Each structure stands twice: as C-alpha cells, then as structure tokens.
Amino acid sequence: MVNHCPKLWGFCFYLLDNRQVDKIARVFRRKTNSVHGQPFMKFLLEEDPDLILTTHFLPNELISCLKKRHKFQAPLITCITDYYPHAWWRDSGVDLYIAPNQDLVPQLLRLGIAETNIATLGIPIHPNFAVSIEQTIIRWKLGLVEDQFTVLITSGGFGVGPIRKLVAHLNRISTPLQFVVICGNNLKLQDELIAVTKKTIHSIRIFGFVQNMQEFMAVSDLMISKSGGLTSTEAMAKGLPLIALRPIPGQESSNCAFLLKQKAGIRVKNERQACNAVEDLLHNPDKLQELRRNMTRIGRPHAAEEIISYVKKFFKIDEAG
C-alpha cells in the first residue's frame, strides 16, 4: 500500500489516529493480532523476561493483552520511533513512553498518557553515529574526492524510490559536485545509474547495501532521502541537513513536518524541486550552515545510552540486576 497507494495509506493513517475511530478499530485489531501473534506471546510466556523495551507499536498491543489477562506483569517500555505519536502507540500495558523530542509531549498527553510516564530521550540509534570522524581519512577510505561538495542520496535497504530520475536531474547542475548514491540491494538500480552517469562533469560514486552509513553521512554536506524516523534521527546525530523527497503521507510526512518546524530540513515534491534545492544551498552557504546547526541542535546521538540509564533509575534496577 505504501509503494503503490501512498495516498490511501495516508488516509488510513490519519483516520485511525482519530481517537473515536481508534477505539472501534482497536477491538478488531486486537482480535486479529492476538491470532497472528500467538507464537510471539508463547515465546514471551516461556522466556518470562524481567523487562521489555520495544521500538514498534505491535508488540505493545500483544503484551497489553497478556497483562489484561494477568498472564504477564513485567514492565513495558516503548520507544516511539517517529516524530509524531500516532494513537497506535498508546496501550494500557505500557509503563513508560520514550519520546524523541519534547514537542511530542502535548500530543501524548492528549492521548491520555500521564506526564510522569513520559521521558523525552530521543530515538535509539547505533553508537557509531556518536563517534567523531575525520572527513579526510574517511573520504580517502571510501574512494571519494577529498575537497568536493558532497550530496548523499539514499533509497533504503530495498533501493526503492525515484532515484534514477533524481540523479538524472542532478546531473544537469553546472557546478561540479560529488554525488554518493546508496542503492541498497537493488542491483538493477545500480546498473541503471551507471548507464545514466557515464558522461558527466560530476564525481558520482554508486554503492549497494552498506553497513557504515555513519561514515557516508559524516563525509557528506547534504542528504536527499525519505524522512523515515531512523534515517532522520541518524542525520540529526551527524548534523547532516536533509532534503526530504516525496515523503509518504503518514509517518514520513509527520517526520518531515517536525524537521521543517525545527528549520532543520527541506521538503520537496519532485526531483526537479530537489535539484533546485541543492543549487540554492550550494549558492547560499549561510542557509546550509543554519540547517546544519539546527540538525545538530535536535540530534540525540547518545539516546540509546541515555535510555538505558533512565530505565535503570525509573525501575530502580541496580547494575547487578
């Protein structure tokens, strides 16, 4: 639905965020999820963990069902991994909500969540994103030009999105730039991009699936991508300005709205607008620097460590426990 009917997905997303609609939908959702989630619930009862920390709303619903039946009582903490708290995240069995930013607190309160059960600690990401990186060394390691303005283009692990058309538009920019394109597992896209970029004044490097995204972000001046929760958070951690291309209605458009409110990102509707945005920032370095400062300001690179530390204090867990 997200790939082929994004507007329908967006309609469902916002419809089910309505509290009254959610009350009705939740009844049916719990029945179907309790059937499909039987292996997971069986696993929980067998393992009997002392504490659970989730990063998705589905397990919250299943665990809450077990708690209501008095089959399971361990504390449940959930990390909201988008910059908008959809009603799906609210569940009676959740003991602590970790929000990515203070801006989400009023919305969580409107969902009926007590302020004492909310902590604004960020979205947990890999510790590698908190490590300072020497640009010159990493550019040499990745085979990149050392002193050229670099634009990072990502398409997710599956290599979806209008990347080919985007690169074709960017190829028309008259100032020589360096483009780094991450294609994920999409081998066909890699071949297409190689064909498109054979004759160009730009330095274009094409990569498949990578596991060192923190290095690519650290050596880039600008990023063009979807505004997913983790992608946006990783970019914040590295202070990397984001041009959000065609954010999908729902989570991505909500994340994008957050970035725009913080003056840390730019939203574009199509590839031509993305190209124009790159040229504008290229010729207005002060504007680019302001975006970078704002990205850095809202970044929480140490969120994972802070969450663990807070959870230990909240539930009075000693180091041995």
pLDDT tens, 189-201? Answer: 888 887 777 778 9
Assigned superfamily of 128-298: Glycogen Phosphorylase B; (3.40.50.2000)
Q: Distance (Å, rounded) from C-alpha 217 to C-alpha 241?
A: 10
What are the boundaries of each domain within the chain?
18-125+302-314, 128-298
Give the phi and the psi of residue 112 in degrees, each rounded to 5.
Answer: 95, 15
- Burial track 302-313 (b if 16+ CB lie within 10 A, e otherwise): bbbebbeeebee
SS3 119: strand
Q: Please report the pLDDT score of residue 164 as a whole number.
A: 83
SS3 242: strand
CATH (residue range 18-125+302-314): 3.40.50.2000
**For range 257-262, the mean pLDDT:** 97
Residue 320 confidence class, pLDDT cut points 50, 70, 90: low
Identical fold, 18-125+302-314 and 128-298: yes
Q: Distance (Å, rounded) from C-alpha 169 to C-alpha 34?
A: 48
Q: Please report the pLDDT score of residue 196 as a whole number.
A: 72
Share of the chain above pLDDT 90, in %: 73
Q: Distance (Å, rounded) from C-alpha 63 to C-alpha 55?
A: 13
The pTM for the full model equals: 0.91
Residue 2 confidence class, pLDDT cut points 50, 70, 90: confident
Tokens of 208: 């498949």
SS3 103: helix
Q: Please report the pLDDT score of residue 156 as a whole number.
A: 57
